[in-house]
Amino acid sequence: MTNLKGKNLISITDYTKEDYLTVLDLAEKFEKNPNQPVLSDKVVGSLFFEPSTRTRLSFETAANRLGARVIGFSNTAATSLTKGESLHDTIMMVSSYVDIIVMRHHKDGASRYASEVSPVPLINAGDGSNQHPTQCMLDLYSIRKTQGTLDNLQIAMVGDLKYGRTVHSLVQAMSNFGAEFHFVSPESLAMPDNVKAYANNAGLKYHEYRKLEDVIPFADIIYMTRIQKERFPDVLEYEKVKDSYILNASLLNGCKDNMKVLHPLPRVNEISMDVDKTKYAYYFQQAKNGMFVRQALIASILGYADQIK
Amino acid sequence: MTTNNKELIVKKIENGTVIDHIPADKVFDVVRILGLISLEDEVLIGTNLESKKYGRKGIIKATNKFFDCEEIDKLAIIAPTATLITIKNYEVVEKKSLSIPKEIHKIVKCINPNCVTNVEEIDTQFNVVSEEPLTIQCHYCEKTMTNINFK
Ligand SMILES: [Zn+2]
């Protein structure tokens, strides 16, 4: 177990394999016993410069179940930021009131910068298209929970692999555990070279596919993502591929028994409703796991990990 | 090329800095990016000179000009093969081969328009992830780039 007291979480690469495992073990305790108000004298600053109801509710519920109080804002329209106050000054002001900051921002790198300004620790809840490390942590938690291990799994990732930051982070994080990756995407939305290089440098194998059917028989995890029409330079190209990345129940015939389908949500149509009723669907539980992981992070960063039962 | 011409090219300066072994196509980048055009003392600029090592090279001699760390970092990024020669009283007092720094502070602008460093007043910071081709990663937005834009 590592001590995460005072340690910012900005990028998935800020934490080591041991740090991840510390968080996941603690999150397991919260899943069994979610209400542990050890932070009754703490205040969490929840700064959502960009609205994200899903992530904000998950964090704020996590803080509430720990007994902490939450201050903050859910968008910048009602704050002085629209009057031109700098991010620097907002962070200086808020950090003098709170014990920890959870921050989401539309600019890439805003969370790293804020963490350098802030005297209190900061958790990145998404900075532009850059990082969303707690999403990655909950993905790891969900994978371990459903597979019993994080080691040597067959991980398929499907859809928009070019712009999807969740799949990029997941490759980085899983590189600690010896996974084999199967990237399924249209050519124009293929996994970027720098992410593939990351897998390469970690000595991990990856394979690329155009068809979803190809990976169904051997995948332990199928990680689905949204394909957005506006990402395609050519509408015809989109029309050609759009249905090849829709997962339905009949496609799952012949998949491994332990296989689980994950998705960062919200979904559009890439997973048919008929998958929801199969034992392979895990995306709603996956979202719920986010709360336990965030409880674990807030508690350990504030130095209360050893008080959690 | 006659000996006479060579002597002309390597005309000595009393005090200042000689930047030798600049790749010929980078000479004017060096002049522009280091702002040598605005110096008041004599600046000699030569390019397409013969070089045993590099085929064609450039050379700049800047009288009464001594470069600071930021300027040397810039030079190392544009022309890593260059040599920096400090002259005092017609004598070479220091000869320095350049190397690309591991971290680049302040002098480069992030190419990502959505990077926080392009909206807030923040000193930029990059890590060099590869020297050939030069690839740097923004410490803030984490984007990697091969286009180096100086501030
Ligand atoms: Zn940047």
Q: Does B109 touch chain A (CB under 8 A)?
A: no
Q: Do A108 and B144 touch (CB under 8 A)?
A: no
- In whole angstroms, what separates CA A249 from the centre of its chain? 25
The answer to whether residues B77 and B120 belong to one domain is no
pLDDT single digits (tens) B52-99? 776 889 999 999 999 999 999 999 999 999 999 999 999 999 999 999
A4 pLDDT more than 50:
yes
Domain at B115, CATH number:
2.30.30.20
In A, which residues are within 8 Å of B116 by CB distance?
87, 105, 107-110, 112-113, 127
In B, which residues are within 8 Å of A131 by CB distance?
142
Q: Does some domain include residue A222? A: yes
ipTM: 0.91
Lowest mean pLDDT among A3-17, A78-92, A196-210, B58-72: A78-92
B108-109 and B91-97: which strand pairing?
A: unpaired
Q: How far is B39 from chain A (nearest CA, A)?
A: 36
pLDDT single digits (tens) A244-284? 799 999 999 999 999 999 999 989 889 999 999 999 999 99
Q: Do A87 and B117 touch (CB under 8 A)?
A: no
Distance from the alpha carbon of residue B114 to the mean position of ligand 1, in angstroms: 8
Distance CA B27, CA B25 (A): 6
Q: Do B144 and A128 touch (CB under 8 A)?
A: no
- According to the model, what pLDDT value does residue A19 have? 97
pLDDT single digits (tens) A183-204? 999 988 999 998 999 899 999 9
Range of the domain at A164: 133-287
Tokens, residue A170: 């997941």
The answer to whether residues A179 and A297 belong to one domain is no
- Domains in chain A, number: 2
Instruction: Tell me what the mean pLDDT of segment A84-99 comes to.
Output: 93
The answer to whether residues A85 and A35 belong to one domain is yes
The pTM score is 0.90
Q: Do B142 and A109 touch (CB under 8 A)?
A: yes
Best mutation target among B109, B110, B112, B114 (most A Cβ atoms within 10 Å) is B114
The answer to whether residues B26 and B63 belong to one domain is yes
In B, which residues are within 8 Å of A108 by CB distance?
112, 114-116, 140-143
pLDDT single digits (tens) A26-48? 999 999 999 999 999 999 999 99
The answer to whether residues B90 and B125 belong to one domain is no
User: Residue A193: how many CB atoms within 10 A of its CB?
Assistant: 10
The answer to whether residues B120 and B93 belong to one domain is no
A260-262 and A221-224: which strand pairing?
A: parallel
Looking at per-residue confidence, does A300 or A75 come out higher? A300
Q: Do A130 and B139 touch (CB under 8 A)?
A: no
User: Residue A198: how many CB atoms within 10 A of its CB?
Assistant: 18
Give the catalytic positions of A in this structure: 54-55, 83, 104, 132
- According to the model, what pLDDT value does residue B51 have? 80
